[in-house]
A and B are shown apart, each in its own frame.
Chain A
């Protein structure tokens, strides 16, 4: 589904990614871990098309297409979804309107009919339960005045509505208490299907108790320094990142 080859990227002339190679197949869950500043959030944002980063080398192929040549909205319409580490507040746009606009854009791209507000409301009732959200969060402006946990749940709600083929969660666990974490993870797990894939970017192993990865990759200094199964995450939790960094630089 996703093939990243020797990806290099800079922001403000500083090289952040120094050659990432990673293949994600349908049905798989990949965890990308690493210390702060390792480039893991950069990788997530580049896959979604964030304009602040400049790709200086390598390639990313998504479903046989050149992902890097696609605009951010085209990527989303093609099924790529990024759950933001810091979801953006948009005062003046209601959450319900935003979700419906996004949903209809994605449906149009799939060649499906747009839905009217009534049918959309029914869909929302179902999706809201998944992340245990109250109806009044739909009438409020997007993320405006939401608590940290509400923002993250709102990201997962968007994901549940858009049903992406490739979901990328960028430190969705940061700032969440354990109850919110369970709700968020439950939402992500409910969306798993053999034809979809998930990339979980996280600093902590804790989230991976709830979203169990098939593969774990450790990013350090803009490179993947170790890949393994889910047991690698446990090892990192026990030993920290330093031993890997020392190995990598040795």
Chain B
């Protein structure tokens, strides 16, 4: 069922994408060739064992290669957190200057839409774009790379620290219905640079048809640099979403990643990092909240390549209705990576009989002097905790709501960016408490 994609690529290569530099065009060509070979993954593919993408593969979705749709500032409000943040907005995959503002960046920091970045910093973009997120074995990354045309490029030069976060808002509207967007983000932090990047994937659509957001973000975290990356997947209920975040970390660098996912009929978020120097740290946390017939899938992969690095991972999920959650967390410790200190945890709370979770924490250790643990729990609200709260006079319903909220808050509280933490806490509280007797937790 990829003929439509191949045909659309022919048109795209002729018209829409023709303006791109030669190396981009040849990258796309190589990627579409790979996509043609791979096709969409089946559940026989180990990486997709628990999630069938048949609803995507069997649909008649086609990539959107030109401008479409229109979103006004008021419609974006629900996805913003106030604050004087730098913001690039993309509507149905296409950069929208009227909804974007970048002001007061320190010298050495650039935040640009992809087309402008290809013009203004071609060497930097060519050095990294398409070189981190491999499409060799990843169909969706191949597809994104084939239709690579718009997105964001962030570069922070050595020793530069960004005070304000950068918010990349990838929003879809009704016009995205039936379409596929392929947003692409590149983040490059040089030695000792520091930045916080927030990616929001949302929709202003109320009940229009299905669409696919197929996003890829590549990140280079230089020596001693610190990247905080937050991804908020809040697509419409009809949407499909596949997003890959892939980072390369140099010596003494730190990555703090948070993946929040509530939207979409079917979504998959990949969070990958390779720790390629000594003294690195990676913290990968996430929260998924699903209901009805939603499938929310996370795959994480941490590659410990060098010694003396640590990784911490906490993913939690609350599943209601007949929803399906997937967590597949891989930690590879290479033979050279002695003294690796890794901890991975996945906890899922099931609120209904029909909700279902497939969890597969995987540790593969090839070094002999490491400290690595992993664990997963799946369960209902703990009866003993409920009794404890009731024994203090708190009624059963409030106790249940509070414990459900607390389950999520436990991981949300790791978000250091206060407006995001508080915003997600408030949204989670609203979701799991009823009517006017909402709990004021603070």
Complex A-B: 5 CB contacts under 8 Å: A73-B394, A82-B391, A90-B406, A92-B406, A92-B410
Q: Mark A42-84, 1 if CB is under 8 A from B, else 0.
A: 0000001111100000000000000000011101110001101
**Cβ of B392 and Cβ of A98 under 8 Å apart?**
yes
B370 contacts chain A at the CB level, 8 A cutoff: no
Q: How far is the CA of A102 from the CA of B405 in the complex (A)?
A: 17
Q: Which of B13-21, B99-107, B395-403 lies at the interface?
A: B395-403
Q: How far is the CA of A82 from the CA of B393 in the complex (A)?
A: 11
**Cβ of B390 and Cβ of A71 under 8 Å apart?**
yes
Residues of B in contact, count (CB < 8 Å): 28
**Cβ of A77 and Cβ of B393 under 8 Å apart?**
yes
User: Which size bracket describes the interface of A in this complex?
Assistant: 20 to 34
Q: Which residues of B contact A93 (CB under 8 A)?
A: 402-403, 406, 409, 441
Could you tell me which residues of chain B, from 386 to 439, have a CB within 8 Å of some CB in chain A?
Answer: 387-396, 398-399, 402-403, 405-410, 413, 439
**Cβ of A73 and Cβ of B395 under 8 Å apart?**
yes
**Cβ of A49 and Cβ of B387 under 8 Å apart?**
yes
Partner of A51, one of B387, B406, B439: B387
Q: How far is the CA of A98 from the CA of B403 in the complex (A)?
A: 11
Q: Which residues of A contact B387 (CB under 8 A)?
A: 49-51, 72
Q: Which residues of A contact B389 (CB under 8 A)?
A: 90, 98, 102
Partner of B406, one of A75, A84, A91: A91
B383 contacts chain A at the CB level, 8 A cutoff: yes
A positions within 8 Å CB-CB of B: 48-52, 71-73, 75-77, 81-82, 84, 87-88, 90-94, 97-98, 101-102, 105-106, 109, 141, 158, 162
B384 contacts chain A at the CB level, 8 A cutoff: yes
**Cβ of A105 and Cβ of B406 under 8 Å apart?**
no
Besides the contacts A73-B394, A98-B392, what 6 more A-B pairs have beta carbons closer than 8 Å? A73-B395, A84-B388, A93-B403, A93-B409, A102-B393, A105-B394
B385 contacts chain A at the CB level, 8 A cutoff: yes
Q: Which residues of A contact B388 (CB under 8 A)?
A: 84, 87-88, 90
Partner of B393, one of A88, A91, A97, A109: A109
Q: Which residues of B contact A101 (CB under 8 A)?
A: 394, 398, 402, 439
Chain A residue nearest in CB terms to B411: A92
**Cβ of A141 and Cβ of B393 under 8 Å apart?**
no
CB distance from B27 to the nearest CB of A (A): 45
Q: Which residues of B contact A106 (CB under 8 A)?
A: 393
CB distance from B348 to the nearest CB of A (A): 15
**Cβ of B410 and Cβ of A97 under 8 Å apart?**
no
A97/B390 contact (C-beta < 8 A), A90-B385, A90-B403 known = no
Q: Which residues of B contact A87 (CB under 8 A)?
A: 388
CB distance from B61 to the nearest CB of A (A): 39
A91/B392 contact (C-beta < 8 A), A97-B442, A101-B398, A101-B402 known = no
Which 8 A-B pairs give the minimum distances between C-beta atoms?
A: A92-B406, A92-B409, A76-B393, A102-B392, A92-B410, A72-B390, A105-B393, A88-B388
Q: How far is the CA of A104 from the CA of B394 in the complex (A)?
A: 9
Q: Which residues of B contact A162 (CB under 8 A)?
A: 392-393
**Cβ of B410 and Cβ of A91 under 8 Å apart?**
yes
Chain B residue nearest in CB terms to A102: B392
Q: Which residues of B contact A88 (CB under 8 A)?
A: 382, 384-385, 388
Q: How far is the CA of A91 from the CA of B384 in the complex (A)?
A: 14
Most buried by A among B384, B391, B398, B403: B391
Q: Which residues of B contact A105 (CB under 8 A)?
A: 392-395
A49/B390 contact (C-beta < 8 A), A88-B385, A93-B402, A97-B442 known = yes
Q: How far is the CA of A102 from the CA of B390 in the complex (A)?
A: 9
Q: Which residues of B contact A48 (CB under 8 A)?
A: 391
CB distance from A127 to the nearest CB of B (A): 14
Chain B residue nearest in CB terms to A79: B393
